[in-house]
Structure 1
């Protein structure tokens, strides 16, 4: 019984894979023109953004502790760099909490797709920073947190304050926007 059920499988597979289709190019298409080269299936699309020099990411603690203190009001006692695959980061720790800097390196060819997927998968309310040259945007978490995201070449940057502060949302946003843009 089983061989009889599997007998049509090769025909179904051949039809599904296009074995019975006409591969000729439509009239007027570039491939139908005499002397036109067919596009290679192995040719990658052009990069949408330029790749950052890896030397600029050698130290993931891109901010000086004094910058965090001056702009966000968190006295930084220590920094803790970390590397996790294509993401580099630094935790700026103080007695009242920390600020996390994440640098996520994306393939320049697929940068737009990667950052779009990253943005849509983030929880909470999102809002663009109007007129920002680095296409910055806010992520407002349900817990009240405010995260700044922006893009530099093929790097997605996240600045995540996680501390007990007296700043309201507007004050936190103003402080985050005053931070120097890295990398």
Structure 2
């Protein structure tokens, strides 16, 4: 393995105002530990309580979705890994981004769903949330792209952005960006 330029990486993180970055296999306990670190950072950063709750909620939703997807697809540690970044932009908003490997067809469907949600205003997102709540759900239904994604869109101050990049072997890397 080549030597990593940690100083250069640190400078890159500082320029990008990256507060938290994680890349690797994600477990329930790791989601919780990183979540606790995020909460502490937001407190130290004097984040407005409602913003802090939204950032934390979006982080939890995205990382749990990644973990559930990896488990549902029987992905091993490497394929089930997550990449998560929480940063600040120049206006002071928090940016929560998360990504993971997905089957290409699943990624395309999710990308389309995110694009649909990105086209809705706050009132339409609220109506979509209520409609999703009323939908009957069978016990064996697979979760995904439902209530949680709508909730992330509702918490976001800007339309959600998603990207899908081919990763080979019928898979792609899906990433999602929310601004809080």
Q: TM-score, normalised by structure 2?
A: 0.27
Structure showing greater radius of gyration is 1
Q: Name whichever structure is richer in helix by fraction.
A: 2
